[in-house]
Amino acid sequence: MTATDDDRRSVEALRREGLIEPHEAHEATHDGSGRVLLSFAPAGRDVRVPPGVSVFDAASWNGIAIDSTCGGHGTCRKCKVQLTSGTSPITRHDVRTFSQTELADGWRLACLVKATRDLALTVPPLVTRPKASTVGVGRQVILRPNVQKRYVELDEPSLSDQRTDYERLTGALDDLDVRPDLHALRRLPTVLRASDFKVTAVVVDEDLIDVEPGDTTGRRFAVAFDLGTTTVVATLLDLDTGTPVAVASMLNRQQPFGGDVITRISATMMDPAALGRLQELAQSTLRDLVLEVCAEGGVQAGEVYEVALGGNATMTALLLGIDPEPLGVAPFIQSSADWPVLLGSDLGLGEAVHPRARAYVFPALGAYVGGDIVAGMLASGIDRDKRVRLFIDVGTNCEIVATDGERIVATAAPAGPAFEGGAIRCGMRAAEGAVEVVKLSDDDVTLGVIGDVDPVGICGSGLVDAVAELARVGLLDATGRFIPQEEAAARHTGLVDRLTAMGEERVFILHRPSPDAEPSECVYLSQRDVRELQFAKAAISTGWTLLLEELGVEAREVQQVLLAGSFGSYLSPASAIRVGLVPKLSVLRIVSAGNVAGEGAKMALLSARERAGAQALLTEVTYVELSDRPDFNDRFVDLLAFPS
């Protein structure tokens, strides 16, 4: 037989029927636009997802459960759906699962259907209702952990059944296809024979990492890390129930090398030994946290089979032993956006976790929009929402994400250290004694102080509050200048004595330890402090202004602003609006999102599908470099003033 018109016809038929995916549908370069519509019946849910994601993932992301025991690897053949509109290529797994008639009727395995065009599909009723857990910013996550266990009772080998131990075990794993890990192959002969061939297989992703005597299926744990520049948080998760078992946090032990990423990068540039030292300090921080949560939770090291970690690009590089210098100097280049499958030992966790525990490190969108932000985007469901939203992680480096419900854009704005208390005369971190809330009445000042002690300084949220309140009562004008003393005296009899001068500079006294204390002994806000805050908030508002322009959206159209990070969570929405740090919206639209990086790490452990969603963000989100834009400085100057 020669290749003839028959072949030609069939190729064209295939294309027409969508059974060969068209050229452009493969590994499409997602620019965030051109989402496809999936209509799920009988749930009656329409969801829009980036082209190329699996129908199974799209359903999971939207809380629509489809039967599955393998978690979406194409091996259990349970995730049956029927396409009622649109087609999808028939895979070999489909051929093995469905009859010809069923295939022709549109039946497919959901985990193998790529949403490359609009589809309508029917999901059969669930055979088993999967567990779910609420994580992140109110996200309902269907539990599909990457760590799976299967208890099996195997036939003992004989001369007429000489299958290898590995074949014997995998032959009994009817819904999982696995690859062996040397560690498991080492343990197999011994464990099988010590436990009468009744064992539990431990599978992470598709790797058989261990085999345990007896039935240990109820014991599956993982640790989620939020690796912050300042604080590191570890959460021990029970993967069987989806609940946190124990949480611990400590200061990042790299602190002695500097309080922010730039000083730590500088340390590595000055001393060749610093990188190794910083790596070891990060590792020991993580290791000790794992030991702490495991001790608290009554969990053995060998029961922690996976960890996930969200950190900014510099923290991630230092942890992995990668020279961070290119991150710190223009043009700000990462070694890699994404990471291969790592082991706990690659993160220095050594014997604190299972020897073959896997480590998932969140990928980054850029040198200054790191894995912590990708984790935060996952936790906040930024890509699963039709609303116009802003996500702002306020800090020395401020990461901003904007979406119009279709496209997602992100950038980083150099806000400087003001929010961390840096470059502020009485600035301090959010620790005991820090003023975190400031309220002004016509004649008095009410302060909220961390630890309810005498105030010793002012932290970021107090700074924003103070400036916002001073602007509200008119002691600061729209340009950020303290009004003249005479004018203040005329209008603010009760506050005017707090407005005074220290040398050349005017200051506002927030707290006077004793009636006759000198201004320098007080907690105060100086004119220069106000300027620092203006610079910081202008950087941020320039960021979101340009991102919203990129999307063609007006600031007033924003339906929600998520304030992320430890600082963002404490910020007063009203004050943030007043100083112009966020768009002028109803305060109800400004939401504290909490520690979203840690929540994202938890989600990645609870659901391999959610993890796939985080990975999809890498192609879905467009990174916008602000320092490259000719209009940046103009906007910045415009936005220094407070909004009217």
Binding to a copy of itself (CB under 8 A) within 346-365 occurs at 346
Q: Which residues within the stretch 9-68 sit at the binding site for a copy of itself (CB under 8 A)?
A: 10-14, 17, 19-21, 23, 26
Residue 456 tokens, joined: 């010793």
Which residue in 104, 431, 490, 587 binds a copy of itself (CB under 8 A)? 104
Any contact of residue 2 with a copy of itself (CB under 8 A)? yes
Any contact of residue 297 with a copy of itself (CB under 8 A)? no
Q: By the 8 A CB rule, do 502 and 526 touch?
A: yes
Q: Sort 250 into a burial class: Cβ within 10 Å, 0-12 / 13-18 / 19+.
A: middle
Any contact of residue 90 with a copy of itself (CB under 8 A)? yes
Q: Give Cβ neighbours of residue 182 (< 8 Å, ≥ 6 apart).
A: none
Any contact of residue 322 with a copy of itself (CB under 8 A)? yes
CB of 26 to a copy of itself, least distance (A): 5
Q: Give Cβ neighbours of residue 290 (< 8 Å, ≥ 6 apart).
A: 223, 234, 236, 301, 304, 307, 349, 352, 353
CB of 439 to a copy of itself, least distance (A): 43
Q: Which residues within the stretch 165-194 sit at the binding site for a copy of itself (CB under 8 A)?
A: 165-167, 179-182, 185-186, 188-190, 193
What single DSSP character describes residue 377?
Answer: H
Q: By the 8 A CB rule, do 327 and 271 touch?
A: no
Q: Sort 37 into a burial class: Cβ within 10 Å, 0-12 / 13-18 / 19+.
A: middle
Which residue in 124, 130, 157, 519 binds a copy of itself (CB under 8 A)? 157
Which residue in 33, 164, 243, 446 binds a copy of itself (CB under 8 A)? 164
- State which residue, 26 or 584, has the beta carbon closest to a copy of itself: 26
CB of 20 to a copy of itself, least distance (A): 6
- State which residue, 101 or 479, has the beta carbon closest to a copy of itself: 101
Which residue in 154, 247, 291, 337 binds a copy of itself (CB under 8 A)? 337
Q: Which residue has the tokens 């960890």?
A: 307
Instruction: Please list the alpha-helical segments (H only) found in 495-607.
Output: 527-551, 565-568, 573-579, 596-606
Q: By the 8 A CB rule, do 260 and 396 touch?
A: yes
Instruction: Give the whole-angstrom CA distance, residue 119 versus residue 89.
Output: 13
Q: By the 8 A CB rule, do 210 and 195 touch?
A: no
- State which residue, 196 or 432, has the beta carbon closest to a copy of itself: 196
Residue 152 tokens, joined: 């099996």
CB of 22 to a copy of itself, least distance (A): 8
- State which residue, 233 or 315, has the beta carbon closest to a copy of itself: 315
Query: Does the CA dihedral 632-637-641-644 come out positive or negative?
Result: negative
Q: Which residues within the stretch 243-272 sit at the binding site for a copy of itself (CB under 8 A)?
A: none
CB of 263 to a copy of itself, least distance (A): 19
CB of 365 to a copy of itself, least distance (A): 10
What single DSSP character describes residue 588?
Answer: G
- State which residue, 2 or 644, has the beta carbon closest to a copy of itself: 2
- State which residue, 313 or 562, has the beta carbon closest to a copy of itself: 313
Instruction: Give the whole-angstrom CA distance, residue 402 versus residue 375.
Output: 15
Any contact of residue 586 with a copy of itself (CB under 8 A)? no
CB of 406 to a copy of itself, least distance (A): 24
Q: What angle do CA 153, 156, 157 make, to 5 degrees?
A: 140
CB of 379 to a copy of itself, least distance (A): 24
Q: Which residues within the stretch 406-435 sit at the binding site for a copy of itself (CB under 8 A)?
A: none
Instruction: Give the whole-angstrom CA distance, residue 99 versus residue 91.
Output: 13
Instruction: Give the whole-angstrom CA distance, residue 18 versus residue 14.
Output: 6
Q: Which residues within the stretch 367-386 sit at the binding site for a copy of itself (CB under 8 A)?
A: 367
Q: By the 8 A CB rule, do 509 and 606 touch?
A: no
CB of 217 to a copy of itself, least distance (A): 23
Any contact of residue 99 with a copy of itself (CB under 8 A)? no
Q: What angle do CA 405, 407, 408 make, to 5 degrees?
A: 95
CB of 391 to a copy of itself, least distance (A): 21
Number of residues that bind a copy of itself (CB under 8 A): 80
- State which residue, 163 or 491, has the beta carbon closest to a copy of itself: 163
Which residue in 71, 72, 106, 417 binds a copy of itself (CB under 8 A)? 106
Any contact of residue 619 with a copy of itself (CB under 8 A)? no
- State which residue, 79 or 533, has the beta carbon closest to a copy of itself: 79
Instruction: Give the whole-angstrom CA distance, residue 160 versus residue 48.
Output: 55
- Candidates 334-342, 380-388, 489-497, 581-589 — which segment interacts with a copy of itself by CB under 8 A? 334-342
Phi, psi (rounded to 5 degrees) for 400: -130, 135
Residue 20 tokens, joined: 């060969």
- State which residue, 160 or 514, has the beta carbon closest to a copy of itself: 160
